[in-house]
A and B are shown apart, each in its own frame.
Chain A
Amino acid sequence: MKTVVIYLFVVVFGCLSACVEKPDFDQFDDIDAIPTIDASLIYVESPERIINQAGGINFYSQDFVFDPFNEDFVQERLVDAIIRYEVDNTTSKPLDFTVELLDAGDNVLDTENFDIAPAPSPILIREITYGPGGRPLDILRNTVTVRLSATNLGDNTSVSSLPDPKIIIRSSARFRIRLK
């Protein structure tokens, strides 16, 4: 019986002496889950022959719905963004390309204009920051329409000696979303 009591004491004492270092769950508020997303946005391409065929100065203009940053989830959680443009002109003529961001009332929120030199010219790279230290983030949050317009500042007959001459505008976004 004495042995039983001793064993019981050991077991019970062992259980009661279990410790739990008190966790600090308030740290949960400090969690920052903010992934950085890379995403292609808009790609525009026009061969030089189309520019020549257009005849006029403005060879392309179009408005279309573009609201990825206006979606509720993104709009509420967008931290900052960098829009990157790459303009590659292998045509023989100088061009002007404009990107306008419009809100639901068709008000222009932001304009990005590219004055593009004829070939041979280096690829024009431009990065626009939205958010802290850059343009207001609300520009992206409220954008629902994009207006693209391209203007030929040269002639309608010349053709570049480069193979398959064309104007190309690439764009992507690197943005951060606060998940927590």
Chain B
Amino acid sequence: MKIRAASILVIVLIHGLAISQNREILYDFDEIPGALMLNPGMKISYQWYAGVPGLSGIGINAGTSGATVHDIFADDGVDINQKIRERAINGMTKRDELSGTFQVNLLQGGFRAANNTRNFYSFGWYLEGDAIGYWPKDLADLAWDGNADQLGRRFDLGHLKTRGELLSVFHFGINHIYNPKLILGARAKIYSIPLHMAASNNQGHFVTTAGQNNIFSHTLVADMLARSSGINEIRNALEDDSVDELAEVRKILTKRSLLGGDLGFGIDLGFTYDLNESWVVTGSLLDLGLSFHSTDPWNYTLDGNITTEGVEVILPDALADPDSEFWEDLVDEIEGMVPFEEDNDSYISFRPTKLYGSVRHNFGEPLSTVGVRSADCNCTDQAAGSRRLITYTNSAGLQVFAVNRPRGPQTAITAFYTRRLGRLMQVKATYTADKFTKTNLGLGVNLQAGPIQFYAMVDNLLAFENLADTQYASFQIGLNIISWGR
């Protein structure tokens, strides 16, 4: 029962809460402070902001480039084994992925420097979970069908590629108006990492061929490495009957989230450049960093190669030792040639670096950022040029996104249209194409009621017909307090 529940939970989590890292609706949505996390060099029109703790930014997305929950578990009368064979075993390739990220802002704030209004400082603390698993095609085939009638087929051990981590991030950033056209931004981050695991650089194969002596010959060539940090201590806590397991796990995770475990460092960089009155380009590079895992590291390796045709009893050699243990000798030989080893050596991992870029065309009636016609407001130079404070009724453009993944960059392209509706509301509509879906329409709404700012974003609207059958869905919400003009 436990296995069943755990298996279903894993499947649902993978399919239902797996998240693409792309947050295309939030990117370049200047009115929302959370967008600063995606581009530290974005235009900032407010004087300060404070996120409501725990609510200033929550994002949940879902994405799979392969089979969906509906594909496998739909109540359609089709045998589930047939569905698994058609839609997963035969329908997915090694490039199909199940990936995800969640992010919750626990603390977020920012303010414009009083003595140098060109500078805007931001700071905060957020939790992030990030995981990716590629479909281990050959290993899945081997587990589902076995090696029977597969003479000569090399089952590629390199298909096992996965990584994941849970981390809390403390950050401090500076947004600097370099000149009236160019805004630069940088953010320093300290990663405190409760959990990390990776098995992303495996090589080797397993193949069965016709034997030279015996009926079959089996060859294993392995160069595999799996690493984890923080997992064993939690597992031990869960298995310890003498303590309250959940309380112990909470204690461990809290301690590690507050700089009491593995640490890492990283930076975000970004810019906004006005080509002219109407055209703007932006770009950012996020999480250029690395982590050091030394608190509870475990490394597991399977390294070596062997070819065997089973137990061989060849006379007259076999007569030399009447007490020979052929089978045990063979097992020992295999374990010696392809040893499975583990150690506690520290290791370094790199963060999945993200890249955003956009080209935006502003058009329509120019407005001040508070939704008042520019001619009616006193848009004087508070920092380095009044244009900074001017937005337009409409804007449209293209965005690109890329994130570094174990099997190479994962990319997406987005077309967007943003419209301001009166003083209170901005709406952003997007169309995104990536490996998950080519029909991703998204919608974001930002509401401002005095100093209260609230936003909600929904991705892949067409999938709402049946969420269980979607390959990508997401929503983001946030609540902030913003000071305009003072």
Interface hub of A28, A40, A171 (most chain B Cβ within 10 A): A40
The 8 Å CB contact of A38, one of B69, B70, B72, B216, is B216
The complex places the Cα of A148 from the Cα of B469 at a distance, in Å, of: 58
> Is the beta-carbon distance between B309 and A7 smaller than 8 angstroms?
no
| Closest residue on chain A to residue B327 by CB atoms | A66
Q: What chain B residues lie within 8 Å of A27 (beta carbons)?
A: 72-73, 75, 80
| Closest residue on chain B to residue A4 by CB atoms | B425
How far, in Å, is B215 (CB) from chain A's closest CB? Answer: 4
| Closest residue on chain B to residue A86 by CB atoms | B215
The 8 Å CB contact of B213, one of A23, A60, A68, A170, is A170
Q: What chain A residues lie within 8 Å of B236 (beta carbons)?
A: none
The 8 Å CB contact of B443, one of A11, A46, A50, A60, is A11
Instruction: Indicate the size class of the contact surface on chain B.
Output: 35 or more
Q: What chain A residues lie within 8 Å of B425 (beta carbons)?
A: 4, 7-8
Q: What chain A residues lie within 8 Å of B81 (beta carbons)?
A: 30-32
> Is the beta-carbon distance between A43 and B422 smaller than 8 angstroms?
no
A-B contact count (CB 8 A): 181
Q: A24-B75, A62-B322 are in contact. Are A31 and B464 (CB under 8 A)?
A: no
Q: A21-B74, A23-B69, A45-B314 are in contact. Are A35 and B143 (CB under 8 A)?
A: yes
> Is the beta-carbon distance between A66 and B216 smaller than 8 angstroms?
no
How far, in Å, is A149 (CB) from chain B's closest CB? Answer: 12
> Is the beta-carbon distance between B315 and A64 smaller than 8 angstroms?
no
> Is the beta-carbon distance between A7 and B458 smaller than 8 angstroms?
no
How far, in Å, is A21 (CB) from chain B's closest CB? Answer: 5
The 8 Å CB contact of A33, one of B4, B144, B465, is B144
> Is the beta-carbon distance between A4 and B215 smaller than 8 angstroms?
no
Give the number of residues in A that approach B within 8 Å (Cβ atoms).
Answer: 57
Q: Which stretch, A12-20, A102-110, A113-121, touches the partner chain B?
A: A12-20
B310: CB under 8 A from chain A? yes
> Is the beta-carbon distance between B458 and A14 smaller than 8 angstroms?
yes
Task: List residues of A (57-107) whose CB comes within 8 Å of B's CBs.
Answer: 60, 62, 64-68, 84, 86
The complex places the Cα of A31 from the Cα of B8 at a distance, in Å, of: 12
> Is the beta-carbon distance between B313 and A174 smaller than 8 angstroms?
no
B408: CB under 8 A from chain A? no
Q: A31-B80, A37-B148 are in contact. Are A172 and B311 (CB under 8 A)?
A: no
Per-residue interface assignment for chain B, residues 64 to 106, with 1 indicating a CB less than 8 Å from any chain A CB and 0 otherwise: 0000011011110001110010000000000000000000000
Q: What chain A residues lie within 8 Å of B311 (beta carbons)?
A: 41-43, 64, 66
Q: What chain B residues lie within 8 Å of A32 (beta carbons)?
A: 81
Q: What chain A residues lie within 8 Å of B243 (beta carbons)?
A: none
The 8 Å CB contact of B4, one of A11, A28, A68, A148, is A28
The complex places the Cα of A33 from the Cα of B467 at a distance, in Å, of: 27
Q: What chain A residues lie within 8 Å of B214 (beta carbons)?
A: 40-43, 170-172
The complex places the Cα of A40 from the Cα of B39 at a distance, in Å, of: 59
> Is the beta-carbon distance between A17 and B464 smaller than 8 angstroms?
yes
> Is the beta-carbon distance between A14 and B461 smaller than 8 angstroms?
yes
Q: What chain A residues lie within 8 Å of B217 (beta carbons)?
A: 40
How far, in Å, is A48 (CB) from chain B's closest CB? Answer: 11
Task: List residues of B (446-474) whose CB comes within 8 Å of A's CBs.
Answer: 456, 458, 461, 464-469
The complex places the Cα of A104 from the Cα of B293 at a distance, in Å, of: 47
How far, in Å, is A63 (CB) from chain B's closest CB? Answer: 9
B343: CB under 8 A from chain A? no
| Closest residue on chain B to residue A179 by CB atoms | B143
Q: What chain A residues lie within 8 Å of B145 (beta carbons)?
A: 35-36
The complex places the Cα of A171 from the Cα of B468 at a distance, in Å, of: 49
B285: CB under 8 A from chain A? no
> Is the beta-carbon distance between A22 and B315 smaller than 8 angstroms?
no
| Closest residue on chain B to residue A145 by CB atoms | B327
> Is the beta-carbon distance between A39 and B218 smaller than 8 angstroms?
yes
Q: A7-B425, A18-B467 are in contact. Are A47 and B315 (CB under 8 A)?
A: yes
> Is the beta-carbon distance between A65 and B328 smaller than 8 angstroms?
yes
> Is the beta-carbon distance between A21 and B310 smaller than 8 angstroms?
no
The complex places the Cα of A62 from the Cα of B458 at a distance, in Å, of: 72
The complex places the Cα of A34 from the Cα of B342 at a distance, in Å, of: 30
The complex places the Cα of A170 from the Cα of B217 at a distance, in Å, of: 12
> Is the beta-carbon distance between A23 and B70 smaller than 8 angstroms?
yes
Q: What chain B residues lie within 8 Å of A60 (beta carbons)?
A: 315, 318-319
The complex places the Cα of A37 from the Cα of B289 at a distance, in Å, of: 45
User: What are the 3 tightest A-B residue pairs by CB atom distance, in nearest-first order?
Assistant: A35-B146, A40-B310, A23-B73
Q: Which residues of B contact A (CB under 8 A)?
A: 4, 7-8, 69-70, 72-75, 79-81, 84, 142-149, 208, 211, 213-218, 308-316, 318-319, 322, 324-328, 421-422, 424-425, 427, 443, 445, 456, 458, 461, 464-469, 475
